[in-house]
Chain A
């Protein structure tokens, strides 16, 4: 028995180790003095300092931020509206099931397929109307397409947890549609909406595949820049950049989880 438990524990620890070694090694090498090779030459913040003096990286980071903020705002608005519409309108059962399926589908669709579809779609649109050149706008539209499902799913689970009694009680207590929405639905939904937005923001910040296919020469994002830099050779600056992205992502994911649980009961 004891041996068996010991084996299980060791395997568990090894698995966690296996999961985190790559990330941790990036973190470690981001504070390594050495510019080349895999030797530890002592602690230093210098790669972070040079990172913040690298104009290209700062521009690219700004791009990423702009895309993430705008696409998240759009996806959150649309996703919340979609969730409300799906949940509150008395759809026929089969239609509701179909809609449910359609919302889940993009979550499991491989990104590469979505990316290829977007490229095709944009080139078709270019034939019809000008302005669909690959750039910031196509990048934002591309991000919204995959963020939307996630936001909708998070907000809908919150709506389901709230139930309809609360809405009915508000109506019973003389609330107009606007009063109900602004004083009851929205405040109660807010943690779900914020959690959905955080998730969307993280997804946008981390996205590579769709960004790679839909970006233009002026709209390079951090992951694409990272990819290009690695092909030129890994520098500790890249490690520093990766570490920062990792930290931001972890922070956002933790925050979004906490918000999703907030007062859900």
Chain B
């Protein structure tokens, strides 16, 4: 069932956690709420779970208004950040908790729990207690305990944050596969943009209690709406610009854009890895000459800070720098002269 969040506001005392959030989550998609800590994403998740009552606005699940329905009555289950496993119950009892609370037939309960135990590779651990499990196992129990209830929506509150970096990447991939396999609606809360890009069908970038941009990872990453989204989703070069006829003039030079800006003066963004490095050459369109100032080896890539050609520095007086991410195979040293190509489709005009 699809979820609709309409005009949801929530205040904690004088702090405005949610300032009127509108969101639509489609049935069967992996949706991510992405934002820095304190942006209100967890509060929004709790409103959807029924653990927090919004001050105004509505939440609809499959067309039904569930705003005032208690958590215990929603077909929505949550994987908590702390996992919140019941320490006094063994793994089987933990997983059967939601089914027993609804008085599901014991035979059916056993069947469903056994199926999920197998799916999550937890068979044989039924009689163990949470404190006897590893972090990864606890996380799988928390997932299984929620999914065994066949929720309309599964909510995940930063479920990866307690895992170490190595395991996290693996679990992210597994989570992605699991969601594809079950075709259930997942809503994930995270502050990790790599995680969001990797697992989501669509994501919403949230800042200060408002949704900044919603879209598929590819779109949001390559066509950010504003500077916050551009910088939160990864490295970005932000360049001041003004419109001049069909072209855009910056202190680097003038550029063609695939999508012309709507403003007369504003900013452009381009991802460091989208800028193409070439041999110093002629003054073709969207090519800029530059000098390497600093090259930072990062293993999988090489981050190069460049100062664009002499014309630029004299014009503005500031030491403008452009970051380019290239193959780590490339050998570049400070002082090298290169040419940079800014593809028209990768230069994005940001909203104010």
A interface residues (Cβ-Cβ under 8 A, vs B)? 163, 165-166, 168-176, 179, 183-184, 187-188, 263, 265
Contact = CB atoms under 8 A, between A and B. Distances in A.
B352 interface: no
Nearest to A179: B101
Contacts of B50: 171-172
A173 B82 contact: no
Contacts of B146: 172-173
Given A168-B80, A263-B87, A263-B88, A173 B51 contact: no
B109 to A, nearest CB: 13
A165 B101 contact: no
B182 to A, nearest CB: 18
Nearest to A175: B101
Interface stretch (B70-78, B201-209, B291-299): B70-78
A185 B98 CA distance: 16
B61 interface: no
A174 B149 contact: yes
B205 to A, nearest CB: 26
A263 B87 CA distance: 8
Contacts of B49: 172
B102 interface: yes
Nearest to B51: A168
16 contacts: A163-B82, A166-B86, A168-B78, A168-B80, A168-B84, A169-B84, A170-B86, A170-B101, A171-B51, A172-B49, A172-B51, A173-B77, A173-B97, A174-B73, A175-B72, A175-B101
Interface of A is mostly: helix
In this complex, which of A169, A170, A179, A183 has the most chain B Cβ atoms within 10 angstroms of its Cβ? A169
A175 B97 contact: yes
Given A165-B84, A170-B97, A175-B101, 5 more contacts: A163-B82, A172-B77, A175-B72, A176-B72, A184-B86
A36 B98 CA distance: 70
A253 to B, nearest CB: 25
A165 B80 contact: yes
- Shortest 8 CB-CB contacts between residues of A and residues of B: A173-B98, A169-B84, A165-B84, A174-B101, A171-B71, A175-B101, A172-B78, A174-B102
Contacts of B223: none
Interface string B49-93: 111000000000000000000111100111010101111100000
Contacts of A168: 51, 71, 78, 80, 84
Interface in B141-178: 145-146, 149
Contacts of A173: 77, 97-98, 101, 145-146, 149
Nearest to B82: A165
B78 A169 contact: yes
A172 B77 CA distance: 6
Contacts of B149: 173-174
Contacts of B82: 163, 165
Contacts of A170: 86, 97, 101
A166 B80 CA distance: 9
A207 B84 CA distance: 41
A171 B72 CA distance: 5
B149 to A, nearest CB: 7
Contacts of B98: 173-174
A165 B87 CA distance: 12
A187 B51 CA distance: 23
B112 to A, nearest CB: 13
Nearest to A191: B88
A171 B149 CA distance: 13
A165 to B, nearest CB: 4
Contacts of A165: 80, 82, 84
Contacts of A183: 97
Contacts of B71: 168, 171-172
A249 B73 CA distance: 48
A123 B70 CA distance: 50
Contact of B84 (A166, A174, A176, A265): A166
A233 B72 CA distance: 67
Nearest to B71: A171
Nearest to A168: B51
A186 to B, nearest CB: 10
Nearest to A93: B13
Interface string B263-293: 0000000000000000000000000000000
Contacts of A265: 131
A183 B101 CA distance: 10
Nearest to A265: B131
Contacts of A184: 86
A165 B80 CA distance: 8
Contacts of A169: 78, 80, 84-86
A171 B70 contact: yes
In this complex, which of B84, B98, B145 has the most chain A Cβ atoms within 10 angstroms of its Cβ? B84
